[in-house]
Structure formats: C-alpha cells, structure tokens
Amino acid sequence: ETGVTQSPTHLIKTRGQQVTLRCSSQSGHNTVSWYQQALGQGPQFIFQYYREEENGRGNFPPRFSGLQFPNYSSELNVNALELDDSALYLCASSSTTGMYGYTFGSGTRLTVV
C-alpha cells in the first residue's frame, strides 16, 4: 500500500506566474484535500475533490483551482502568484467520509519571489 506522494518537493516561482502542484492519493482513497501551511501556522483548507468534482472550498480566491482525475490523483493550480502564496502545500487523501482521518503527503514548498 503506497502513501500520498506529492511533486515537486520544492519550487521557486516569480510573482505573477502560474504553478501546478501534483498529488497521488493513497491506495483505496477516493477523496483528496489540499491545504496551505504558512510558516508557524496550522494547515488551512483550500478545497477538496471527490469523484472529480470540487466538494467544499475554504476561504481562498478563484485563482486557486484544482482537478481530480479518474485514478483519484489531483492537481492544485495557482494563477497570478503573489508573494503571500509562499507556503508549504499539503495534499491529504481519505476515504469518502474522512471520519477515520486523513493521510498527508510530505508537501510541496513553494517560494514566490
């Protein structure tokens, strides 16, 4: 059984650029959630995908968007990058209800300069 894998591990982008982050969910999990973790803060929920549809969204602007594929893997896209987007982006997968907890990836460290 494989865990959640994210790529790339580190990324540096320039303000105004666009970025795509990728996540493969744990085997048997059909739900993927994305979180942003700024330095010194807890993870903040961005959105969740279930059956290839967005299924809940946190307080993030529309320039944060995502996709889920038939194999349950997912992408997070951020357009028009801002300096404040610099953070660790975490992907978490779960079974449908999530009541049994979430399995997190190691994250992608995004730096916007």
Partner 1 sequence: AQRVTQPEKLLSVFKGAPVELKCNYSYSGSPELFWYVQYSRQRLQLLLRHISRESIKGFTADLNKGETSFHLKKPFAQEEDSAMYYCALGGYGGSQGNLIFGKGTKLSVKP
Residues that bind partner 1 (CB under 8 A): 31, 33, 35, 40-45, 48, 50, 55-56, 58, 90, 92, 94, 96-107
* Nearest residue (CB) to partner 1, 66 versus 81: 66
Report the C-alpha dihedral over residues 13, 84, 37, 8, rounded to 10 degrees. -10
Tokens representing residue 4 in the block:
């959640």
Cα separation, 53 vs 68, whole angstroms:
7
Taking alpha carbons only, the member of 110, 87, 101 closest to residue 4 is 101
Q: How far is the CB of 54 from partner 1 (least distance, A)?
A: 10
Cα separation, 86 vs 69, whole angstroms:
26
Q: How far is the CB of 47 from partner 1 (least distance, A)?
A: 9
* Nearest residue (CB) to partner 1, 14 versus 53: 53
* Nearest residue (CB) to partner 1, 35 versus 81: 35
**CA distance from start to end of the chain:** 38
Q: How far is the CB of 57 from partner 1 (least distance, A)?
A: 9
* Nearest residue (CB) to partner 1, 24 versus 48: 48
